[in-house]
Structure 1
Amino acid sequence: MTWKHLSLSVTGKSHRDRNEPGQDYCRTDALRFSDRDFFIGLAADGAGSTTHGGVGAEIACETLYLQILSVIRKGDPISSTTDEEVRAWVTASREAIAARAEGDGQRIKNYACTLIGVVAANDQTLYFQIGDGCIVTGDGTGYHTIFWPEQGEYANTTYFVSDDRFLEHIKIERQVSVPDEIALFTDGLQNLVLSFSTRTVHDGFFRPLFMALRKNPDNGFANLATNLTALLSRDDVNTRSDDDKTLILAVNVPLS
């Protein structure tokens, strides 16, 4: 098997109206190492109430990506990765954010961000998350969430990598199967594609996107990304959610 994937971040109307950059960030990769195929998907959402949330999101994803890449290059199977090692990956990301905050003369909470991650290998799929946003997988029978978006103690709040008690809010799950399809998205999309009353996924949003990704040739990804960016930037979408919107899509396809 191998992976086809697409990722994008669209700056929300609320940031555009204030002439601010978006605060979401994502990192993806599909690689083959020692006859094994891997997909890495990471997304982070900088807290809208912070001054440097987007910087924190980028540092979190890039640091975590290097942590995961190191494990893959050592030849260790993902199935042998313990919960403590996953927490160590996230801790390294937090320490990198703290170092940047100290260098900038800022407090770490000014770099607050959520974090969502997937590592798919031949033998297992590893999922982890802090805060809101969501991971959705498809198995041919429908679409399912891995974790439900975690809300904070008060309305419109959540948990962040920068929190003092961040380790208490790391959710980790493993599946011995490899899904056909994987999506990760930040909270700017969750109210559009999830039903909070029934805790279910709006299949009609994901099914055509995964079909398009699966059918698109590699050189057609740019057009697909452009069309998807236009969709997420539409006025009717922004009316329902004016926050930044990050979406990662990945499909498992046979080797040609």
Structure 2
Amino acid sequence: MTGCGWSACGASVTGAMHQQRGLGCDDAYSYGVAGDFVVAAVADGAGSVSGTSAWGAYVACQSVLGDALQPTFIESYRKATAEHAQKLLRWLFDGALQRVQRHAHATGLDVALLSTTLCVAVANWDKAVFGQVGDGVIAAENDEQIESLLIERKDEYANTTTFIQSDHALDESLRTAVCTDVTAFALSTDGMSYKITDIATGDAYQPFFRGCWQHLRSGAGSTSFAAMLAGIEDDQTGDDKTMVLAALRDVGDRAGVVITESSPPPQAGAPNPVDSEGRTDPLPAAGTDAPTEPLSTKPAQRHWWGRRQRR
């Protein structure tokens, strides 16, 4: 697969409702590409604490990006089995929560004021692992088929969700899936759910994702993608819109170049939210991995695996 690698782009657009109320964007995103390796994250700060929650979303995405691009993490992921890949993903979520808690302490805020959802994807050529806490959207392309993953099943209150700061969220509400032969994926906050999924079932609206990945493979970047997101109207929510796209394609001479991008911090002059000391807890060690459960009832030869944990 000489010259083949991941291309990615991302964008975050302040929703119409936020603009009308004079509020900024509470979403955040980040991604990093290193040849055959890609990491991406999107986060949606709680609207009930608009403004401060934007910092929770930003810190969480920055934490995922910094931890996943460490050489030791990339090496471990390339060697990982499906079960170990899920443990590595959980380590990224643990780090995101720890750093959000540290930022709350450093700024004198209650950690609940930084409440945020979080979607993460890590992939190379042979496998991809996805994780989610909250109500974002994850779509993946495999064998030219597109499928929604890790759909959050709502209780009787459709406008509620779980945040990474919620009690026992990473133990009870973190949903993970491992897939092979993924050729493209997308992570989105819920601001475009009415436009890109069937709200009743959560199924991905395939023409939208197929078209986005085609533009990405044709060389489109974040600027044009942001313009496209800003042009989406009548989304029934007025919420912020944030998405990261990634697709395998021929990248030529850029195969060995590390590329990163992320949304800007919510405000200039604020303290650095991601501590420079890094993690003190080690990467989870590889061990005897238990088999994962099938993600869906589709034929097993498609090699889709996943696990949904109890909420």
TM-score by length of 1: 0.87
Give the Cα–Cα distance (whole angstroms) in 2 for the partners of residues 187 and 224 of structure 1.
Answer: 21
Q: 2:11–2:243: 8 Å Cα contact kept in structure 1?
A: yes
Is 1:243 the counterpart of 2:239 in the alignment? yes
**Which residue of 1 is the match for residue 281 of structure 2?**
none
Letter in 2 for 1:68: A
How much does 1:15 deviate? 1.0
Give the Cα–Cα distance (whole angstroms) in 2 for the partners of residues 90 and 153 of structure 1.
Answer: 27
Change in 2 beyond 3 A, CA 1:131/1:157: same
**Which residue of 2 is the match for residue 49 of structure 1?**
48
RMSD: 2.0
Give the Cα–Cα distance (whole angstroms) in 2 for the partners of residues 151 and 71 of structure 1.
Answer: 38
Change in 2 beyond 3 A, CA 1:88/1:231: same
Letter in 2 for 1:16: Q
Q: 1:194–1:200: 8 Å Cα contact kept in structure 2?
A: yes
Matched position secondary structure for 1:76: helix
Higher mean C-alpha deviation, range 79-88 or range 161-170: 79-88
Letter in 2 for 1:169: S
**Which residue of 1 is the match for residue 179 of structure 2?**
175
Q: 1:131–1:150: 8 Å Cα contact kept in structure 2?
A: no
Higher helix content, 1 or 2: 1
Change in 2 beyond 3 A, CA 1:208/1:84: closer
**Which residue of 1 is the match for residue 225 of structure 2?**
225
**Which residue of 2 is the match for residue 77 of structure 1?**
77
Is 1:138 the counterpart of 2:141 in the alignment? yes
Give the Cα–Cα distance (whole angstroms) in 2 for the partners of residues 109 and 152 of structure 1.
Answer: 21
Is 1:3 the counterpart of 2:33 in the alignment? no
Q: 1:152–1:158: 8 Å Cα contact kept in structure 2?
A: no
How much does 1:215 deviate? 1.5
Change in 2 beyond 3 A, CA 1:165/1:73: closer
Give the Cα–Cα distance (whole angstroms) in 2 for the partners of residues 110 and 153 of structure 1.
Answer: 24
Aligned length: 244
Deviating 4+ runs (over 6 angstroms)? none
Is 1:252 the counterpart of 2:251 in the alignment? no
Unpaired runs of 5+ in structure 2? Answer: 253-311
Q: 1:214–1:251: 8 Å Cα contact kept in structure 2?
A: yes
Give the Cα–Cα distance (whole angstroms) in 1 for the partners of residues 156 and 207 of structure 2.
Answer: 32
Change in 2 beyond 3 A, CA 1:86/1:196: same
5 Å-filtered alignment, 1:146-225, equals 146-151=149-154, 154-167=157-170, 168-177=172-181, 179-216=182-219, 220-221=220-221, 224-225=224-225
Q: 2:57–2:116: 8 Å Cα contact kept in structure 1?
A: yes
| 11, 15, 26: which one aligns with 2:29 | 26
Unpaired runs of 5+ in structure 1? Answer: none
Matched position secondary structure for 1:200: coil
Is 1:127 the counterpart of 2:130 in the alignment? yes
Higher mean C-alpha deviation, range 149-158 or range 240-249: 149-158
Letter in 2 for 1:147: L
Matched position secondary structure for 1:195: coil
How much does 1:150 deviate? 4.4
How much does 1:154 deviate? 2.9
The alignment-based identity, stated in percent, is 26
**Which residue of 2 is the match for residue 59 of structure 1?**
59
Higher mean C-alpha deviation, range 189-198 or range 71-80: 71-80
How much does 1:230 deviate? 3.4
Letter in 1 for 2:169: F
Give the Cα–Cα distance (whole angstroms) in 2 for the partners of residues 221 and 244 of structure 1.
Answer: 20
Letter in 2 for 1:106: L
